[in-house]
Chain A
C-alpha cells in the first residue's frame, strides 16, 4: 500500500453535469465541483436531498460522464467503470440468484480483480472477507433469506473482495433502521481498518444525508448545496481514531455536527415547503 503522500488519489476539477429535461430546459445537477481526495482517507459527502451527491459518485464510478470538467484517479482520467473503483449501492444490488458466497466471489470469477488467482487463492480471499464482515455460516443463503443488515454486509464483502483502490459508497446505510445503522457504522470502520495504521487503509468516498453519520465516519466532510450542486465547505474532522460510542458524546463531535447543520439547514427547510 502506498504511504499517505501528497499526491491526491482522486481529483475532481471543475466538474459539471447538466442534462436536458422533457420540458426542454436544462437541469444542472453539478456545477464547478472541485475536490481532491487524499490517499487512504475516509471522505464523506453530505448534503440535502437532490444536491447532486449521487451524481458525484456516479461520475467517479464512471457510470456517467461529466458535461464539463475532469475526474482522475492517480492522474488517469476516469471515463468508464472499472475494478479499481468499487461501488456499494444504496439498495445493495445483490444478485438474487447467487448465494452470499456466489455474490462475494462474482467479481473475482468474472472480472479483472480475479486474474492470476487460482481457485484455491480465490476461495481463500472470499472466505477472508465473508468472515471479516461477520457472515460466517451464512455462505449458502440467498439474499431474499437475509435481513437488511446482513445484505449490507454481503454488499460490503463483495465490494472489498475485489480489493479496489477506491471504495465508493452511496448512502449504504440509508435503508436500515436506526439501531442497525449504529452497529454497521462501527462495523464499517472496523472493516475499513480504523484500528490499523493509516497506510493500510483504502480511500473511501461515502455519501450520506445523515450529519452525525458523516461526522462519525469521516476524516473530512464535504458539504454540498443543491440547485445547482456545489461544494459549499470542506471540513476536517479532528476526532481521534479509533472511533466508538464515546466519540458521539464528545463535545467536538456535537460542535462539528451543529456547524454542518447550520450550513445546510435553510436549504433543508426550503425542501420541505417547495
Chain B
C-alpha cells in the first residue's frame, strides 16, 4: 500500500497554499530585482505583470500562443495517427516488432531537436519545421507507450473472451484496445510533454512566429519583462494541456487506476 500522492490539498486550502507560496516567491524575486536595479537583467514582478497585461491587451500574447498551440495540436494528431496503429501492430504481432524495432531503436535516441539543422534544409523556416520536429518528438513516447500498453493487457481478459467463443479480430477491438487505453493516454501525455519542449527550440531557431520565436525576438531587444511574459505563457499552456488530457483520461477511463492517480 502506498501513501496517496499529494494533490494540492483539496479545494480552498489548496488555493491558499498555492498563492502563499507563489507570493513568497514573488517577494523574494522583487527583492532581488530591486537589489540588481537593472530592468533588462532582472525586471521586477510588477514589470512582468505589466508586460503581460500589455501583451494581452494588444492580443500579441494570444496570437503567438494560438500559433504554438495550433502546431501542438496538429503534431499530436499526426503523431497519434501514426504511432497508435503502429504500436498496436508491433505490440500484437511478433513479426512486425522484429522488423521495425531496430529502426525505432536507432531513431529514438536522436532527439527531435537534433533534426532541426537537417529539417531546416528540408523545410526551410516556416510552419512545417516546428510541426515536423514536434511530430517526431511526440511519436516515440506514444509508440513505445502503446506497445507497452498492449503488452500489458491482462491475459486473463483475453482468455475470458476466448472461452466465450469470441473471434480474434473482435477480441482485438473489444478487449485489447479498451484495456490498453489507459496506458495509451499516459503515453499521449508524455508525447505532448516531449513535443511542447521541442516547440520552443524549433520556434526559437526555425519559425517566424509562435511563443519560442517571441521569446527570442524580445530577448534581442533586451525587453526582458516581455521575455518572461512569454515564458510564463509557455508554462501555463503546458500545464493546461496536460490538465486537459488528465481530465480526458478520467472521463474516458474512470475505471483505470492511472486515471485516478496523479
Contacts and interface: CB of A to CB of B under 8 A. Distances in A.
A97 B256 CA distance: 8
B37 interface: no
A97 to B, nearest CB: 5
A50 interface: no
Nearest to B254: A142
Contact of A107 (B166, B255, B256): B166
A111 to B, nearest CB: 4
A142 B164 CA distance: 21
A113 interface: yes
B163 interface: yes
A97 B179 contact: yes
A97 B165 contact: no
Interface string B164-180: 11100010001100110
B157 A95 contact: yes
Contacts of A111: 161, 164-166
A144 B254 CA distance: 9
A47 interface: no
Nearest to B253: A97
A86 interface: yes
Interface stretch (A8-16, A77-85, A208-216, A232-240): A77-85
Contact of A83 (B157, B164, B179): B164
Nearest to B260: A144
B162 to A, nearest CB: 4
Contacts of B154: 93
Given A97-B179, A142-B255, A143-B255, A81 B162 contact: yes
**Contact-size category for A:** 20 to 34
A242 interface: no
A202 to B, nearest CB: 15
Interface string A99-119: 000000011001111000000
B156 interface: yes
Contact of A106 (B161, B162, B181): B161
Interface in A65-91: 81-87, 89, 91
Looking at chain B's contact residues, is the secondary structure mostly helix, strand, loop, or mixed?
helix
Contacts of B170: 110
A54 interface: no
Looking at chain A's contact residues, is the secondary structure mostly helix, strand, loop, or mixed?
loop
Contacts of A89: 156, 159-160
Contacts of A107: 164-166
A193 to B, nearest CB: 21
A110 B174 contact: yes
A63 interface: yes
B159 A93 contact: yes
A152 interface: no
Nearest to B165: A83
Interface in A126-153: 142-144
A15 to B, nearest CB: 19
A96 B255 contact: yes
A45 interface: no
A81 B239 CA distance: 48
Contacts of B160: 87, 89, 93, 95
Interface string B229-259: 0000000000000000000000001111000
A61 B163 contact: yes
A164 to B, nearest CB: 8
A203 interface: no
Nearest to B257: A144
B156 A81 contact: no
A162 interface: yes
A206 to B, nearest CB: 15
28 contacts: A61-B159, A62-B163, A63-B162, A81-B162, A82-B163, A82-B165, A83-B164, A84-B165, A85-B163, A87-B160, A87-B163, A89-B159, A91-B156, A93-B154, A93-B159, A95-B175, A95-B179, A96-B179, A97-B181, A106-B164, A106-B174, A107-B164, A110-B164, A110-B166, A111-B166, A112-B165, A142-B254, A143-B255
